[in-house]
Amino acid sequence: MHRRIGIPVQYKPVNDLIAGGCKISGTGAAEIGDCIVFVGNLIVDFNYEMMSRVLKVPDEKFRDKVHQTLKENLTTIRRELGEKTAGQWDEDRLNGLLAKEFQKLLGPMQPAAKDAALQSKMDECRAVLLSDDWLCQKGRIKTSGRDIKIRAGVEMLHRMHKAPGGLIRAEYAVVDGCYENLHFSGDFFCFPSNAIEDLEASLQGRPVAEAGNLVQAFYARESLEIPGVDIEDWLKVLI
Residue 115 falls inside a structural domain: no
Reported as a pLDDT band with limits 50, 70 and 90, residue 128 is very high
Residue 119 falls inside a structural domain: no
Residue 100 falls inside a structural domain: yes
Residue 120 falls inside a structural domain: no
102 shares a domain with 151: no
Residue 138 falls inside a structural domain: no
156 shares a domain with 226: yes
85 shares a domain with 180: no
Kindly report, residue by residue over 10-52, the tens digit of the pLDDT: 988 777 888 988 889 888 888 888 888 888 888 899 898 888 8
Domain-terminating residue out of 106, 133, 164? 106
97 shares a domain with 188: no
Instruction: Say how many domains are in the chain.
Output: 2
26 shares a domain with 86: yes
What value, to the nearest 5°, has the Cα angle with vertex 72 and ends 70 and 77? 85
Q: How far apart are CA 179 and CA 207, in angstroms?
A: 6
Q: Which CATH number fits the domain that encloses residue 189?
A: 3.30.390.50
Reported as a pLDDT band with limits 50, 70 and 90, residue 117 is very high
217 shares a domain with 160: yes
84 shares a domain with 28: yes
Residue 136 has pLDDT above 70, yes or no: yes
170 shares a domain with 89: no
Q: Of the candidates 80, 50, 79, which has an alpha carbon nearest to the alpha carbon of residue 66?
A: 50
* Coil/strand/helix, residue 166: strand
User: What residues form DSSP beta bridges with 92?
Assistant: none
Instruction: Give the pLDDT of residue 143.
Output: 44
Q: How far apart are CA 43 and CA 7, in angstroms?
A: 12
Residue 89 has pLDDT above 90, yes or no: no
Residue 113 falls inside a structural domain: no
159 shares a domain with 89: no
Range of the domain at 221: 143-238
pTM attached to this predicted model:
0.53
Q: Of the candidates 42, 45, 65, which has an alpha carbon nearest to the alpha carbon of residue 55?
A: 65
Q: How far out from the chain centre does Cα 220 lie?
A: 26
Mean pLDDT of the chain: 85
* Helical (H) or strand (E) element with 180: strand 178-186
Residue 193 falls inside a structural domain: yes
Of 40 and 189, the structure prediction assigns the larger pLDDT to: 189
